[in-house]
C-alpha cells in the first residue's frame, strides 16, 4: 500500500471535460470515505487547448507528469476549429493526439482492454426505440485491442502535385513484439477470469484478423498460434474481421476474450458497445506493464457538450477500473473495495431504471446520474 497515489486526470474536450469533473468528484468522495490519499493532478489538453495555446495540445511538462503518475484517467479529446473541421496540429496530427495515442505509445500501454457486459435492466436504443434486445446472460466478453501500432502508428503522409493532394498513405505496422504482448495478455485474461464464454463456459480466445488479404494479419495469426501453445486450457478460435462484425451482434454468447489489431479493435469495440447500451456504458483500459490509463471509449461528442446530456457511467466505471488496477498493483484493499462499490452502484441504478440519461431511454441529466452513482457508491463503502 502506498501512502499517497498520484492520479493524473486529463479532461480533454467537450463531454470529456464534463465527465472528468464527475470522475474527480467520485475520486474525492472515495478518498474521503476510505482514507486513501489520492492526489489529483489535472492537466488540460485537447483541441481547445491547442486553439488557445497555438502550438501544443497539452502543457510542455505533461509527458513527464503522466510518466510519473501512478495511474491516468482520461475524459475524451477532439474539437472543431472555426471552420468546422477537427483541430489539426502543424504536424498533421489531431489536436489531442498527445494525451491519447501519444500516451499509449510512449508509456507502452500495449493492451486496450474493453469489457463488454450487458447489465440487467439495460434497454438498447435502436432506431429511436428502447427495448431489451440482448440478454445480459449472453453478453459477457472482453475485447482486447493492440494499442501501440497498426494503422495508428502515425507513419504515412500526403502526396501533393501542384498544391493538390493526389494520394495519401497510412502505413500499417504490425510487429511480432507488440503482437505477442497483446495476445499473451488476452490468453492471461481468459485464464484469470476463468468463466469462459456464456454459451458453453469454455475459456476461449478469438483472434480477429483479415489474414486472407493482409500481411500484418498473417503475422498476427502466426504469433497467436505460437502463444496459444502456452495456454492449452484455453480454446483457440479465429474469425475473419468482416464476418465477426456480424457474429458479435448475432451470437455474442460465443465469445469469452477476443484479441485483434489496433484499428479493427477500435471499430469493433464501438460496435460491441451497442450490446452494452452504447458508448456511454463502455470502458477502455489502456494497460502496460508499468503504466495504465483508463477512459470511456467514447469521444468528446460535441453535439452533447454543455447540455448536461452525456451519460457519465462509462467514465465512472473507467474510474472504478483505475482504482481496481491501483489497488491490485499496490495491494490496497480500500481501492479494490471502491471498485466493487462503484460497480454495484451502477448496476443497481441500471436495474432500477432511473436515474438514467436519454441514450438509455431515461430523462435524467448527466449530473443527476453522476451524483446518484457517487452517493450509492459511497453508501456501499459504508
What are the distances in angstroms from CA 279 to CA 54, 114, 117, 143, 174?
Answer: 31, 11, 12, 14, 27
Asked if 339 and 323 touch (Cβ cutoff 8 Å), the reply is yes
Among the listed ranges 186-194, 241-249, 295-303, 327-335, the one in contact with ligand NAD (CB under 6 A) is: 295-303
Based on CB atoms, which residue is closest to ligand NAD, 302 or 355? 302
Asked if 143 and 206 touch (Cβ cutoff 8 Å), the reply is no
Among the listed ranges 55-63, 185-193, 235-243, 308-316, the one in contact with ligand NAD (CB under 6 A) is: 308-316
Residues 58-77 that bind ligand NAD (CB under 6 A): 76-77
Based on CB atoms, which residue is closest to ligand NAD, 142 or 360? 360
Angstrom distance (rounded) from CA 44 to CA 62: 9
Smallest distance, ligand NAD to C-beta of residue 169, A: 20
Smallest distance, ligand NAD to C-beta of residue 68, A: 22
Angle at the Cα of 56 from the Cα atoms of 164 and 49, rounded to 5 degrees: 105
Q: Is 6 helix (H, G, I), strand (E, B) or coil?
A: strand
Among residues 186, 310, 323, 356, the one that binds ligand NAD under rule CB under 6 A: 310
Angstrom distance (rounded) from CA 141 to CA 303: 30
Angstrom distance (rounded) from CA 314 to CA 269: 13
Angstrom distance (rounded) from CA 289 to CA 291: 6
Based on CB atoms, which residue is closest to ligand NAD, 31 or 279? 279
Among residues 30, 62, 72, 78, the one that binds ligand NAD under rule CB under 6 A: 78
Based on CB atoms, which residue is closest to ligand NAD, 223 or 373? 373
Binding map of ligand NAD across residues 9-48, x = CB under 6 A, - = no contact = ---x--x---------------------------------
Q: Is 266 helix (H, G, I), strand (E, B) or coil?
A: helix
Based on CB atoms, which residue is closest to ligand NAD, 13 or 256? 13
Residues 340-369 that bind ligand NAD (CB under 6 A): 359
Smallest distance, ligand NAD to C-beta of residue 324, A: 20
Number of residues that bind ligand NAD (CB under 6 A): 22
Burial class (CB in 10 A: 0-12, 13-18, 19+), 331: exposed
Size of the chain in residues: 382
E strands within 88-196?
Answer: 111-117, 124-126, 129-131, 140-146, 156-161, 164-170
Smallest distance, ligand NAD to C-beta of residue 218, A: 29
Smallest distance, ligand NAD to C-beta of residue 61, A: 21
User: Which residues of this chain interact with ligand NAD, rule CB under 6 A?
Assistant: 12, 15, 76-78, 86, 94, 100, 279-280, 295, 298-304, 310-311, 314, 359
Amino acid at each position: 500500500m502506498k501512502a499517497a497515489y498520484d492520479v493524473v486526470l486529463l479532461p480533454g474536450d467537450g463531454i470529456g471535460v464534463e465527465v472528468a469533473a464527475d470522475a474527480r468528484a467520485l475520486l474525492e468522495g472515495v478518498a474521503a470515505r476510505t482514507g486513501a490519499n489520492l492526489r489529483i493532478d489535472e492537466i488540460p489538453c485537447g483541441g481547445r487547448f491547442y486553439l488557445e495555446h497555438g502550438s501544443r495540445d497539452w502543457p510542455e511538462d505533461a509527458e513527464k507528469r503522466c510518466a510519473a503518475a501512478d495511474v491516468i484517467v482520461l475524459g475524451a479529446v477532439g474539437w472543431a476549429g472555426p471552420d468546422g473541421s477537427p483541430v489539426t496540429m502543424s504536424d498533421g496530427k489531431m489536436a489531442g493526439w498527445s494525451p491519447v495515442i501519444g500516451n499509449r505509445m510512449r508509456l507502452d500501454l500495449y493492451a486496450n482492454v474493453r469489457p463488454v457486459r450487458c447489465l440487467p435492466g439495460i434497454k438498447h436504443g435502436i432506431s429511436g426505440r428502447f427495448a431489451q434486445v440482448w440478454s445480459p446472460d449472453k453478453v459477457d466478453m472482453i475485447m482486447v485491442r493492440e494499442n501501440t501500432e497498426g494503422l495508428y502508428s502515425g507513419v504515412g503522409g500526403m502526396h501533393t502535385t501542384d498544391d493538390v493532394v493526389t494520394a495519401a498513405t497510412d502505413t500499417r505496422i504490425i510487429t511480432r513484439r507488440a503482437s505477442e504482448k497483446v495476445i499473451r495478455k488476452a490468453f492471461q485474461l481468459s485464464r484469470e477470469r476463468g468463466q469462459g464464454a456464456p454459451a458453453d463456459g469454455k475459456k476461449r480466445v478469438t483472434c480477429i484478423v483479415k489474414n486472407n488479404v493482409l500481411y500484418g494479419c498473417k503475422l498476427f495469426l502466426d504469433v497467436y498460434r505460437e502463444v496459444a501453445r502456452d495456454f492449452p486450457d484455453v480454446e483457440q478460435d479465429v474469425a475473419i474481421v468482416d464476418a465477426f462484425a456480424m457474429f458479435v451482434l448475432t451470437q455474442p454468447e460465443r465469445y469469452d476474450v477476443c484479441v485483434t489489431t489496433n484499428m479493427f479493435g477500435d471499430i469493433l469495440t464501438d460496435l460491441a458497445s451497442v450490446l452494452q447500451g452504447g458508448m456511454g456504458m463502455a470502458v477502455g483500459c489502456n494497460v502496460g506493464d508499468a503504466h495504465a490509463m483508463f477512459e470511456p471509449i467514447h469521444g468528446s461528442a460535441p453535439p452533447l457538450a454543455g447540455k448536461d446530456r452525456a451519460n457519465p457511467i462509462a467514465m465512472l466505471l473507467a474510474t472504478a477500473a483505475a482504482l481496481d488496477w491501483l489497488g491490485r498493483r499496490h495491494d490496497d484493499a480500500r481501492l479494490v473495495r471502491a471498485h466493487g462499490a462503484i460497480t454495484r452502484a451502477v448496476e443497481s441504478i441500471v436495474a432500477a431504471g432511473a436515474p438514467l440519461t436519454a441514450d438509455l431511454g431515461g430523462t435524467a441529466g448527466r449530473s443527476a446520474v453522476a451524483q446518484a452513482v457517487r452517493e450509492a457508491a459511497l453508501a456501499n463503502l459504508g
